[in-house]
């Protein structure tokens, strides 16, 4: 049996958005590594404030929060060209069809249910980050090719 290792070993800046202070603390303990930074916000309003100050590589967002819930936050993110392609993993206690469909229609990249398995979540985040970065590189290549052809 091998020893413990960090799954999130690529440089990344994550924002964990949840109104539960214990989960926010768990997120910082379980998701942060030497390469991955984890900031937290208590709701969508705080998340937008954090996004105005820093760039993030991925957001984890609860659906049911005060002031601005996850659905509203997703709508704001997808309407802004600066965050339109930002990967957003919904993490919620809801697993009803309506919440799942509504989250993906609003722009969620992935959906995980609580209680969170932190180890499994880190693998899902690593995959989501790598896929988002590959997609961004492809968008950049297409943009460059279009500009060169013009």
Q: What is the pLDDT of residues 3-19, one digit of tens each?
A: 667 788 889 999 999 99
What pLDDT, on a 0 to 100 scale, did the predictor assign at position 59?
Answer: 98
- Quick one: CA torsion of 140, 142, 146, 147, rounded to 10 degrees? 20
Q: Kindly tell me the burial class for residue 16, based on how many C-beta atoms sit within 10 Å of its own C-beta (0-12, 13-18, 19 or more).
A: buried
What pLDDT, on a 0 to 100 scale, did the predictor assign at position 43?
Answer: 98
Whether pLDDT at 37 is above 60: yes
What pLDDT, on a 0 to 100 scale, did the predictor assign at position 104?
Answer: 98
What pLDDT, on a 0 to 100 scale, did the predictor assign at position 1?
Answer: 53
Mean pLDDT of 129-144: 92
Mean pLDDT, rounded, of the chain: 94
Mean pLDDT of 94-116: 97
Report residue 147's pLDDT band, with 50, 70 and 90 as the boundaries.
confident
Whether pLDDT at 55 is above 80: yes
Q: Which helix (H) or strand (E) holds 61?
A: strand 58-61
Report residue 2's pLDDT band, with 50, 70 and 90 as the boundaries.
low
Mean pLDDT of 54-73: 98
CA distance between the termini of the chain: 57
Report residue 39's pLDDT band, with 50, 70 and 90 as the boundaries.
very high
Q: What pTM, to 2 d.p., does this model score?
A: 0.92
């Amino acid at each position: 049996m091998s020893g413990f290792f960090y799954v999130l070993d690529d440089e990344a800046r994550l924002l964990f958005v949840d109104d539960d202070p214990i989960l926010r603390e768990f997120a910082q303990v379980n998701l942060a590594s030497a390469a991955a930074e984890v900031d937290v916000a208590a709701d969508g309003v705080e998340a937008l404030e954090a996004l105005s100050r820093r760039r993030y590589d991925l957001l984890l967002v609860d659906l049911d929060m005060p002031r601005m819930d996850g659905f509203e936050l997703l709508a704001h993110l997808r309407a802004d060209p600066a965050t339109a392609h930002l990967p957003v993993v919904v993490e919620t206690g809801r697993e009803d069809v309506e919440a799942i469909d509504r989250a993906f229609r609003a722009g969620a990249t992935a959906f995980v249910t609580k209680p969170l398995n932190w180890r499994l979540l880190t693998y899902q985040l690593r995959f989501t980050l790598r896929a988002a970065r590959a997609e961004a590189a492809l968008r950049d290549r297409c943009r460059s090719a279009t500009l060169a052809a013009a």
